[in-house]
Amino acid sequence: MRALGLIAVLGLTLTGCVKPPPAAPFPRAASVAVGAVYDGEAAGVADAPERLDIAVEGALAARGLSVRPVGDAALLTAIAGSPSSEVRLARLAASTDAELLVLVELKPNFYAQMAGRYRWSVPLSVQVSWRDRPEGALRQTHEVPATLLYYHEREEAAVGEVAPLVARHVEAAVEAFLAREGG
């Protein structure tokens, strides 16, 4: 019995040395620019927190895309402050020479207190398009939950909390877009 326990403990501990297999690359390599914004109940429209940028850009880079920077903070703020998704996408296109554009828009809103935590609902829109052909954009929408520990953690923290989920959805949208476009 003790030997079994020891094996289980060692086995789980050694998982620290196990590296996950690399993600399969997208069917086509391309350069990509990512713009991510959120529209908070109280915070207003803002550029997404760094945690989300890192998650999304990291996921795309791991699948073989070359992530190009969009520009400085002022430019990101200008994109975020655009009146509509179409204008945001156009401004994103104007700010980069990347072939592919990914626009992530989130609208976190407080849902309810739940078992000691603060649940937020984060509607998510992902648009993927070629920079020179924005009319053919693919748009997918989702709703992802964020459960925060503290009330002072508001929209920005909710967006950061869902970063891994958003990255997965962005991956899926890019994959679907490239498949639709014939790889």
- C-beta closer to another protein: residue 68 or 117: 117
Contacts with another protein, 94-113, as mask; x by CB under 8 A: -----------------xxx
Please count the other Cβ atoms lying within 10 Å of the Cβ belonging to residue 140: 15
Q: Per CB under 8 A, which of residues 126..145 are in contact with another protein?
A: 143, 145
Question: What distance in Å separates the CA atoms of residue 140 and residue 171, rounded to the nearest whole number?
Answer: 11
And the tokens for 144?
């992802």
Report in angstroms how near the CB of residue 101 gets to another protein at its nearest: 27
85-122 as b/e: b if 16+ CB within 10 A: eeebbebbbebbebbbbbbbbbbbebeeeeeeebebeb
Does 84 interact with another protein (rule: CB under 8 A)? no
Does 4 interact with another protein (rule: CB under 8 A)? no
Contact assessment for residue 53 and residue 70, using Cβ atoms and an 8 Å cutoff: no
Question: How many positions of this chain bind another protein (CB under 8 A)?
Answer: 27
- C-beta closer to another protein: residue 39 or 181: 39
Does 172 interact with another protein (rule: CB under 8 A)? no
And the tokens for 117?
């935590």
Contact assessment for residue 71 and residue 182, using Cβ atoms and an 8 Å cutoff: no
Report in angstroms how near the CB of residue 118 gets to another protein at its nearest: 9
Does 64 interact with another protein (rule: CB under 8 A)? no
Report in angstroms how near the CB of residue 43 gets to another protein at its nearest: 9
Question: What distance in Å separates the CA atoms of residue 165 and residue 3, rounded to the nearest whole number?
Answer: 39
Does 117 interact with another protein (rule: CB under 8 A)? yes
Question: What distance in Å separates the CA atoms of residue 130 and residue 134, rounded to the nearest whole number?
Answer: 6
Report in angstroms how near the CB of residue 31 gets to another protein at its nearest: 28
Q: Which residues bind another protein (CB under 8 A)?
A: 8-9, 12-13, 15-16, 18, 41-42, 111-117, 119, 121, 143, 145, 147, 149-152, 164-165
